[in-house]
Amino acid sequence: MNDVRIDKFLWAIRVYKTRSEATEACKGNKVKVNGTDAKPSRLVKIGDTILVRKGLVQYTYKIKQLLENRVGAKLVPDYAENLTPTSELDKLNAPRETFFVKRDRGSGRPTKKDRREMDELMNNVDYSSDDTIPEDILIKFGISEDDEL
């Protein structure tokens, strides 16, 4: 076995859950082999570098050995070396800019005033500080410190 289809290899090393997901990623130009876009039928060899864009993160793999059948997660490092920089992996842990405000059941949609207050809250939240929420915001939205957010 000198070469394997890229979609089959990405599925086999567990980058994608299904082979059709891997195929769609290739068709959507989310996979590159040695810097060039890869169609699903592109053949890869040992030593090729694969770039895979999943969400915000661009993963980088180098092929060590070829395989056609899916392997267990513990065996993946024997077939592909993960070269993804830590700066890319840090994007997975980036603070989520969503904030859920608990509303009473049956209260309906937020009014225009409620929406403006929520927007003001979002603009005033400092993500760089610790996880505590300022007391004035807790009072404004009727949240006690015992409530789970």
Q: Where are the domains of the chain?
A: 4-93, 95-149
46 vs 125: which has the higher pLDDT: 46
On whether the 4-93 domain is CATH 2.40.30.110, my answer is no
Over residues 40-62, mean pLDDT: 93
Nearest residue to 62 (alpha-carbon basis) of 37, 44, 75, 80: 80
Q: Share the mean pLDDT of the chain.
A: 83
- pLDDT tens-digit profile of 89-115? 887 776 655 556 666 777 788 889 888
- Confidence class for position 146, pLDDT limits 50, 70, 90: low
Over residues 10-14, mean pLDDT: 95
Write down the residue that tokens 């939240």 correspond to. Answer: 125
Question: In degrees to the nearest 10, what's the CA dihedral of 82, 87, 93, 96?
Answer: -130
Is pTM beyond 0.75? Reply is no
Concatenating the DSSP letter of every residue in 44-66 gives E-TT-EEEEEETTEEEEEEESS-
Q: What is the pLDDT of residue 7?
A: 94
